[in-house]
Structure 1
Amino acid sequence: MHVLASDPSRRGTEMTSHDERFAGSGRIPRAVWIVVSLSVLPELILQGADLDLWGRPGWRSVAYEYAGFWAGLLGDWRPNYTLQPILMFVTYGFLHAGIWHLVLNMTTLLALTPPLVAQVGTGRFLALYGVSILGGAVGFAALTRATAPMVGASGALFGLVGALMSLDFRRRIDTGRPVAPLAGTALALILGNALVWWATNGRLAWETHLGGFLAGWIAAMAVPDRRADRA
């Protein structure tokens, strides 16, 4: 998740055999590739405009202006269109701050997909992704003081990590295994965020990561764990 530089011009069902086949092979379900495409296509268009291959370089700033998450729009800022303060809770998650930001996030998404689909199925995976996007936006809105826009899918990705950890926590409790390893994972996430926040001079939207993580964790508590059913 990335907070952009300030813009001075702007103040259930059971797991199907299809799911099991993909989970067992490590392949990515088609629906997840659609999610990836929704992030890749905008960045490719903006990259082309940045390189003056089509359009104009200003397209990126316009995209952020209309689809990034601006916390000020929840206050007294004037939106560009009527539904912007609502739609930005979703649209921010499909824009990125550049090609490397996109590559990092999409690589992480594809790595997280097989283990989570194996446990909850494709439909619930997509639901968790959507809930985590919203949770990330809520976390950013509640905790940030930034006047710059926030973009990126990492709030949703932290939600997927939170969902995996939540399922593991529940499984450990049910089987009487220690939960201490999860505390170590949580600490590593906190330290990693702190390090990147420092390295980027505070431009990491840790608030979005936290909101997404908590949303994914809580949502996964209500999701049946098919791996536990088959154990």
Structure 2
Amino acid sequence: MASVKYSRQIVIALIVICTAIEVSLLLADFGLVGSGRLRQTVYEYAGFWPGLLRTWQPNYDAQPYLMFVTYGFLHSGIAHLLINMVTLWSLSGAVIRRVGGRGFVLLYGFSIVAGAIGYAFLNTTPVPMVGASGALFGLAGGLLAWSYVDRYTAQQGLWPVAQAIVLLIGLNLVLWWAMDGHLAWQTHFGGFLGGWMIATVIDPRPRERKT
């Protein structure tokens, strides 16, 4: 129980960090703290900019590398933040019960990077990208990978796994339409694949399932 409690504290810390950043930027947007350009400046230094992988000049030497992680702690507004943090809290419990705190950190961290790689390879515009959704789709990919292994080993039907994947694809299509194409689906795709792959490395053994 103590281990699970400690692991949940890691999730709470992630939520607090993301929330603190977005609240600070929101206060700056309303002119209550700092500069009115704070959000733009933070995006310029910590968002994921595809152009930096080509010919653009970085603001600092390590930016083309660090942005593969830093983008995952930024959000585009309070609604974006709330949706992602609620999703993080919802998915993290099952991951922690399966692989503990270290496994969660590995899965979450790898998925952040994988989401950025997906955006870097599949995106065709210079538009920057922010948000934790790459890591969140990685958590979903990891959970579905374990479910696949468990059900396949137990010779149970794989339809629930396929159904969940179809649901995620449908969700992305709906969001892409609702957001008039301004959805980083490439990040979701990269995060999901990365999460699926690293999950089978973190815990490749099947677990018993109740029929």
TM range (shorter): over 0.9
Answer yes or no: is 1:117 the counterpart of 2:105. no
Query: What CA deviation, in whole Å up to 9, does each residue of 1:125-182 have, x standing for no partner?
Result: 1110000000000000000012111000000000000000000000011101011221
Cα distance, 1:93–1:69 mapped onto 2, change above 3 Å:
same
SS at match of 2:156: coil
Q: Deviations along 1:190-220, whole A, 9 cap, x unmatched?
A: 1110111111111100000000000000001
The residue type equivalent to 1:77 in the other structure is W
Per the alignment, residue 4 of structure 1 pairs with none
Go from structure 1 to structure 2 and tell me whether the alpha carbon gap of 1:223 and 1:28 turns closer, same or farther (over 3 Å shift). Answer: closer
- Which residue of the other structure, out of 133, 145, 150, is the alignment partner of 1:171? 150
The residue identity in structure 1 corresponding to 2:99 is: V
| Aligned twin of 1:14 | none
Runs of 4+ that moved beyond 6 A:
none
Across the aligned residues of Structure 1 and Structure 2, the Cα RMSD in angstroms comes to 1.8
* Structure-2 separation of matches of 1:171 and 1:85: 39
Is contact 1:28–1:113 with CA below 8 Å preserved after alignment?
no
Letter in 2 for 1:48: L
Q: Percent identity?
A: 45
1:42, 1:202 → 2: CA distance?
Answer: 26
Is 1:42 equivalent to 2:21 in the alignment? Answer: yes
Contact 2:118 2:190 in 1 (8 A): yes
* Alignment TM-score, normalising by the size of structure 1: 0.86
Supply the distance in 2 between the matched residues of 1:147 and 1:39 (Cα, whole angstroms): 24
Tell me if the contact between 1:69 and 1:89 (Cα under 8 Å) persists in the aligned partners: yes
The structure showing larger relative contact order (alpha-carbon pairs under 8 Å, at least 6 residues apart) is: 1
Alpha-carbon deviation of 1:77?
0.7
Which residues of 2 match residues 152-191 of structure 1 at below 5 A?
A: 152-191=131-170
The answer to whether structure 1 residue 91 and structure 2 residue 70 are counterparts is yes
User: Could you list the runs of 5+ residues in structure 2 that have no partner in the other structure?
Assistant: none
TM-score by length of 2: 0.94
Whole-Å Cα distance in 2 between the matches of residues 34 and 144 of structure 1?
31
Give the residue type in structure 1 aligned to 2:40: S
Higher helix share: 2
- Aligned partner of 1:141 in structure 2 is 120
Partner of 1:213: 192
